[in-house]
Amino acid sequence: MRKPLVAALSALALAGLGAVPAGAATGAAAEPTAPASTAGKGVDTDTVTSVAHDAVTSTTANLSRVTAPKAQAVDFAGTVSLSNCSGSVVRMPDSEADDPALVMSNGHCLEAGFPEPGEVIVDQPSSRTFGLLNSAGTRVATLRADKIAYATMTDTDVSLYQLTSTYQQIQDSYDIQALELNSARPTAGTAISVVSGYWKRIYSCSVDGFAYRLREGAWTWKDSVRYTSACDTIGGTSGSPVVDDATGKVVAVNNTGNEDGARCTDNNPCEVDESGNITVREGINYGQQTYQIIPCVGLDNKIDLSRPGCTLPKP
C-alpha cells in the first residue's frame, strides 16, 4: 500500500509492527505541492522472479453521470481529496439520483488506521470530510460522511463512505456527477487513467495483466490489476479511481506498488500464482478491481452482503 506521507518517518520507527499501505498520505490534505515516496505490503513462498516492464501510455478517460454516462476526456470532476489519500464519488449502475452518495477509497486509508487481516467494517459511524474537485482539479466543496458503509483490507483494499448528500444534491449544487463503477471485469491491454484527487495528477497507462494473489505484509488481495510502468503512482494516490478510458467507468481502485524489489514485504507486494510461485516486479503498481462491489449494493445504495452474487468478505 502507498505509504502515508507525513507518517513515513514514524513508519520506519514502527517497522515490523504493521504494514504501511501504498499510496496513503497522512496529516492534513492541504494542497500538496510536491510528490512523495511510495510504499507496499507482502509475504513470501518459494520461487522468486524479478521482472522489468515497458512503459505503455494512454491518454483519454472519463467520468460518469448520475444518468447515462458519456465518455469524455479524463479530468478530476467527481474525485475527492482525503486527509491522507485520494478517492472519488461513485455510483452503481442502478443507483438513483436521490440515493445517498458514496465515496470510494482504500481500506488502508481509514481514519482509524488499517483494518486487521480478516476484519470487515460495516455501518460504522463517521463524520469524515472530503474535498470535492471539479474538472480542473479545483476544490469546490467539502462533502461529509455519516458512516463507513463498508471497508476491508481482506481479499481487496476498499472503503465506501456514505455521505450526507445525495447524488442529485451534489449535481445541483456543483454541477459534478459521480463516477460509475463498471459491472464488467477489465481486460489486459485496456487503456486506463489513475486520477489522484490528493495530488491533482492523472497517470495514464494500460492494464498489463492480473495477479492471482498479491501479498504485502499481513495482507493478501485477489485478482489484482497490474499496471504497465507508465502509471508510476506515488504516496497519496491510494484510493484513486482507475478509469477505463474507452467507457469512462471505474474498473479498480489504486492501492499499492513494489518500491524496492523486495518480495512480499511492507511496501513491496509480490505476486503469487496458483502454484505458489512468487514474482517480484520492482517499480510496478497495482489496483483492486471494483466490479464485485456492485452486486453487494442494494436499494437506496445500502450495502447488503447477503445479496445474490455478492462475494465481498463478510464480518
| pLDDT number for residue 74 | 84
The C-alpha atoms of residue 88 and residue 179 are separated, in whole angstroms, by: 7
CB count in 10 Å sphere of residue 311: 13
The span from the CA of 104 to the CA of 215, in Å, is 22
Q: Would the CA dihedral through 204, 186, 278, 44 be positive or negative?
A: positive
The three three-digit cell numbers of residue 81, written as one number: 481529496
Mean pLDDT by 10 residues, the chain (315 residues): 48 33 47 39 33 35 38 85 97 98 98 96 98 98 98 98 98 98 97 98 98 98 98 97 96 97 96 98 98 98 97 97
What does the pLDDT read at residue 22? 47
User: What pLDDT was estimated at residue 73?
Assistant: 79
pLDDT of residue 14: 29
pLDDT (0 to 100) of residue 276: 97
DSSP assignment, residue 146?
E
So what's the pLDDT on residue 68? 38
Asked if 277 and 126 count as a contact pair (C-beta separation under 8 A), the reply is no
Q: How many residues does the chain have?
A: 315
Please, where are the H alpha helices in 1-113? 8-13
Taking every pair of Cα atoms in the chain, the longest distance, rounded to a whole number of angstroms, is 55
Other CB atoms within 10 A of residue 309 CB: 8
User: What pLDDT is attached to residue 95?
Assistant: 98
How many angstroms separate the CA atoms of 161 and 89, rounded?
Answer: 9
Residue 84 β-bridge partners = none
Residue 166 has a pLDDT of 98
Provide the whole-model pTM: 0.83
Helix (H) or strand (E) holding 195: strand 191-196
The C-alpha atoms of residue 169 and residue 173 are separated, in whole angstroms, by 6
pLDDT at position 105, please?
98
